[in-house]
Structures are given as C-alpha cells and as structure tokens.
Amino acid sequence: MASTITKSLFKHLISSSPKPPVSRLFSTATAQNRTQKLERIADELLDLTKLERYDYSILFRLKTGINRYGLAVSGVTSPASSAPGSGAAETKAAEKTAFDIKLEKFDAAVKIKIIKEVRSFTDLGLKEAKDLVEKVPVVVKKGVTKEDAEAIIKKLQELGAIAVLE
C-alpha cells in the first residue's frame, strides 16, 4: 500500500515539475562540448604515471594558489604574479619562529651531566634520555622558541657539549 502511494506521489512530482527554459534547450551543444573536454582531460590524467600525477598535483596547487592547508594568504594568484622564484622569496622572507636543538658532540667524562640536563628540558625518563644522548648527533628538542633554545644551548655548552640551533 505504501509503495503505491509513493509511486503515485513520484509520478505526480515528475509530471508537475517545471519544464527547462528555452535558452537551456539551445545550450546543450556547449554543455556537451564542456563534458567532452572534461572527459578528455580526465582520460589524459589517468594515462599519467604516479610520479607524473604527483608532479601535476603540485603544479596545479601552485598555479591555483592552493597550498597544503587551503587557499594561500594572498588568494589565487594571477599568472603574471606567479613568476619563477617568487614563492621562494616569500618563504625566505618569513622569519623562523620554532627551532630545534641538536646535540652534536660531548666529552665522555660529562655524559651523566648531559643526560641530566637533557632530562631537565624534556619529559624523558632516565633510560630514554640516555638512549637519546648516545645517538649523537641527534635533535634533542624540537619546536623551541629562539630565546629558550639559546638558554638550553648555553647550558649544554657550559657542561662541555657542542650543541647547535637548527
């Protein structure tokens, strides 16, 4: 019973639906051309190798101004403003705010002091800190502000270690 009501309601909706405007009837040729063009582009993209598709996706994102996190800050760029090297200049102009501390070398005599110091500015346990220090050269802390990183590096250098800011 419910299916007959649904069928009759469906037939009523179809028969009472408005007819497309006349201008739409004449534009089917352009719609078919657009569809054929899109199908041709899709076929060409599918013929690419994985590496070529990856390169294409990067190129497409660059040309449309879309980066990994969404639209670029400046919006969609025009072809004139997307000159080679302009993106690299913008990245270099942005100042780095998060730094990594890399422990490059230390004297074996001060190994225990270095481990204690690494534990003081990380949340590592004794074994984890020891394993980390023994893997020299290694990044011991990531994403630190410049002031904090310089203070930590100074402490490590006072103990006899060679640490750098990356």
Burial 8-32 (b: 16+ CB within 10 A, else e): eeeeeeeeeeeeeeeeeeeeeeeee
The number of folded domains in the chain is: 1
Q: What is the pTM of this model?
A: 0.43
Q: Does residue 58 form part of some domain?
A: no
Residue 161: domain span: 99-165
Q: Which of 21-30, 37-46, 147-156 shows the lowest per-residue confidence on average (mean pLDDT)?
A: 21-30
Q: Does residue 68 form part of some domain?
A: no
Highest mean pLDDT among 12-26, 63-77, 80-94, 118-132: 118-132
Mean pLDDT across 63-72: 66
Q: Does residue 46 form part of some domain?
A: no
Decide if 150 contacts 165 (C-beta within 8 A).
Answer: yes
Per-residue pLDDT tens for 72-87?
554 444 444 444 555 5
Position with higher pLDDT, 90 vs 68: 68
Q: Does residue 54 form part of some domain?
A: no
Identify the CATH number of the domain in which residue 154 sits.
3.30.1390.10
What pLDDT shows up at residue 27? 57
Mean pLDDT across 34-58: 85
Compute φ and ψ for 17, nearest 5 degrees: -70, 145
Q: Does residue 25 form part of some domain?
A: no
